[in-house]
Structure 1
Amino acid sequence: MKDTLNVRALNRATLARQLLLAREPIPVTEAVGRLFGMQAQEPKPPFLGLWTRLEGFQASDLKAALHDRSVVRATMMRATLHLTTGADYTAFRTAMQPMLDGALRVLGDRAEGMDLQRVVPAARALLGQEPRTFNEVRALLQEQFPDVNDRALGYAVRLCVPLVMVPTQDRWGFSRTSRFAPADDWLGTGPADGPALDELMLRYLAAYGPASAADAQTWSGLSTTAEALDRLRPGLRVFGDDRGKELFDLPDAPRPGEDVQAPARFLPEFDSLVLAHADRRRVIADTHRPLLTTKNLRVRAVFLWDGFAHGIWETEYKRKVATLRLRPFGPLPQAALDELTREGESLLRFMEPDAKETVVTVADD
């Protein structure tokens, strides 16, 4: 008979792996490896995500890792931009290709006339000459393939050519129109030949487990997670959840007790923690989950209290005053407000070091 893990037990286990029970005094590259990627649709959120997880984190720490190429920003899980270590990108980019190939289907009729056997080598050649923006890549490819939709050409290159974004000295590490370089040029080696799917699942469990096959599929976008976890079953712990779902985990992974205290934390927009499971009750209640995403598919920033998402937050900076507004999902006890205020003021000082005043407030609506 399988042991059952309730939602609170899953919460504490996942927070422990996501460096959210205590700030860790570890280097940036090690943290990104332990988190097994940080969603980075925009450049700023990973800086905030690392601040909330690491002791003494400075923005310059991540910028240094990006420039020394130990951390890269590239298309990975769910065909979205992520920060990963350079080593993880090399090891697991090939495992993502079936999912990336499938994502091409969204092009529909716009892909008419496109021959990937010709487009991919042409794009590799152009980007091998020098890093380029995608506006440049699309324009140059359009010259070679004038009868193919330019947006379809660009999208195909993003998915089928292993590329990394070239960092700059901008505040959050990247310019608005980033340049891309071939991964093998940037890292000195190309993606591994084999897909390494089983190792991918072990790393996922280390960062997000205990988790179901559906959770792993939601995180990765891959349809073969159940097969991989079944192959790995003899070496894994298998639990059940309160709905009868089978959960897999590494035997020696941390699973702290439900009574372990979880400090107030602010997660940035697009944080991988709120996207890494099909069943997200370990982080956010089902009733609140619709509030997490905007109509244009932005994933809102949430704050955690007692380990769970209790609302969203936003900031404003005007006339040297940095303001953080809490928008709770429901009434919060004074102890929560006090803890969130202290943590929020620290976050504002990190985000706006030139501010003369920091204010944490609860929105009226």
Structure 2
Amino acid sequence: MLGAVEHLVGLQAQDVKAPYVALWSRVAGFDPYELGRMLESREVVRLPLMRDTVHLVSADDALALRPLVQPPIEAHGRGSLGPPPEVDRAELAALARTAFEEAPRTAGELRALFAERWPGADPERLARGVRADLPLMQLPPRAVWRRPGSVRHGLLERELGRPMRPTTLADMVRRYLGAFGPASVADVQTWSGLTRLAEVADGMDDLVRLRDEDGRELLDLPDAPRPGSDVPAPVRFLAPWDQVLLSHADRSRIISAEQQRVMSVAPNGRMPCAVLVDGRVGGLWRVESGAVVVEGFGPLPDDEVGREAAALEEFLRR
């Protein structure tokens, strides 16, 4: 299971159940309680990474990737929603670091700490600045299968007992291609939130360079599988914010522009969950009163979709 998490370079985890559904759809015999145990033992961790969104990754990847994605995380934390000008960011980070070095903290504890030092300042804006300047991870029991838990944050290096050791940008590109290639430089940048990766890719002589139907250059690993269009793709129920839908600038290979518009107007800011049919988005699924309900964008293979929906219902009841 750890190999699957690392192969995908982590899983989107804003929704606490998303990594579980994502792995269920990909790994035969997936046991959600085993992933929960891995969270508790710190083999996998939850923290903001690519695009400053919460991911579930291996502990090794957390320590290797967090320094590389600092620029987009910092950009979000230093924007108009970050700490106001009258708050010294260095002092804010130092105060928060001292608190986290003593023990993990909840949002309420941080608000009380900030209110004492900067009365009247918006504590959420201060918290954004802290999340941008300090490498924090969410701690279990948050997101452990069938175990409720509020959000507590701790310093990544303190909680894992090891220092961050950043990998190279070239290795990050290779890891991405291993999961999502063939892909363009724009795709890698969309996935990572980083920019100027063309300079990195230009210096990587070990990559295969291909062209798509529109003549755009695609990169891939030399030994990566590239199945033809005649290879069957079974029905799959994707997790909320599934990586396969968010990891490319050009998503037309898997979803139409009209379907993207439908999926972008979800209630409560949540992305609808997609159903893949023959490798493309064919519909949406949701849970109503414990039952998986499917709405197709067109005709669906009812028998195959029904079997997969029943299997997902059984999984979600575990």
Taking structure 2 as the reference length, the TM-score comes to 0.94
Give CA-to-partner distance per residue, 1:224-271, whole Å, 9 cap, x none: 222211121x21101111222211111111111221111111001111
Alignment-derived partner of residue 171 in structure 2: 199
User: Map of 1:89-168 to 2, 5 A cutoff?
Assistant: 89-108=62-81, 111-146=84-119, 148-168=121-141
Q: CA deviation at 1:105?
A: 4.1
Distance 1:211 1:47, change over 3 A: same
Alignment-derived partner of residue 15 in structure 1: none
Distance in 2 separating the partners of 1:162 and 1:221: 17
**Counterpart contact for 2:83–2:89, Cα < 8 Å:** no
Structure 1: segments with no counterpart, 5+ residues: 1-27, 354-365
Alignment-derived partner of residue 313 in structure 2: 348
Determine whether 1:275 maps to 2:246.
Answer: yes
Alignment-derived partner of residue 311 in structure 1: 283
**Counterpart contact for 1:39–1:81, Cα < 8 Å:** yes
User: Map of 1:159-308 to 2, 5 A cutoff?
Assistant: 159-168=132-141, 172=145, 175=148, 177-192=150-165, 194=166, 196-232=168-204, 234-294=205-265, 296-308=268-280
**Counterpart contact for 2:52–2:73, Cα < 8 Å:** yes
Determine whether 1:337 maps to 2:308.
Answer: no
**Counterpart contact for 1:113–1:147, Cα < 8 Å:** no
Distance in 2 separating the partners of 1:331 and 1:55: 27
Alignment-derived partner of residue 33 in structure 2: 60
**How many residues are aligned here?**
317
**Counterpart contact for 2:16–2:143, Cα < 8 Å:** no
Give CA-to-partner distance per residue, 1:22-64, whole Å, 9 cap, x none: xxxxxx2111001111010021111111111111111111101
**Counterpart contact for 2:22–2:238, Cα < 8 Å:** yes
Bigger Cα displacement from structure 2, 290-299 vs 160-169: 290-299
Does the residue aligned with 2:69 lie in a helix, a strand or coil?
A: helix
Cα RMSD after superposing both structures: 1.8
Distance 1:225 1:297, change over 3 A: farther
Determine whether 1:51 maps to 2:24.
Answer: yes
Q: CA deviation at 1:324?
A: 1.3
Does the residue aligned with 2:68 lie in a helix, a strand or coil?
A: helix
Q: CA deviation at 1:152?
A: 1.1
Give CA-to-partner distance per residue, 1:154-199, whole Å, 9 cap, x none: 111122211111111776366452111110111111322x562111
Identity %, equivalent residues: 38
Distance in 1 separating the partners of 2:114 and 2:2: 35
**Amino acid of the residue matched to residue 311 of structure 1?**
G
Structure 2: segments with no counterpart, 5+ residues: none
Distance in 2 separating the partners of 1:114 and 1:198: 37
Distance 1:105 1:119, change over 3 A: closer
Q: CA deviation at 1:104?
A: 2.4
Where relative contact order (Cα < 8 A, 6+ residues apart) is larger, the structure is 1
Distance 1:174 1:89, change over 3 A: farther
Distance in 2 separating the partners of 1:168 and 1:102: 30
Does the residue aligned with 2:87 lie in a helix, a strand or coil?
A: coil
Does the residue aligned with 1:219 lie in a helix, a strand or coil?
A: helix
Distance 1:179 1:51, change over 3 A: same
**Amino acid of the residue matched to residue 181 of structure 2?**
G
Determine whether 1:326 maps to 2:315.
Answer: no
Q: CA deviation at 1:110?
A: 5.3
**Counterpart contact for 1:303–1:309, Cα < 8 Å:** yes
Does the residue aligned with 1:89 lie in a helix, a strand or coil?
A: helix
Taking structure 1 as the reference length, the TM-score comes to 0.82
Does the residue aligned with 1:114 lie in a helix, a strand or coil?
A: coil
Alignment-derived partner of residue 25 in structure 1: none
Distance 1:202 1:173, change over 3 A: farther
**Counterpart contact for 2:77–2:131, Cα < 8 Å:** no
**Amino acid of the residue matched to residue 184 of structure 1?**
E
Distance in 2 separating the partners of 1:173 and 1:350: 12
Give CA-to-partner distance per residue, 1:274-303, whole Å, 9 cap, x none: 000010122212221111223554221001
**Amino acid of the residue matched to residue 291 of structure 2?**
T
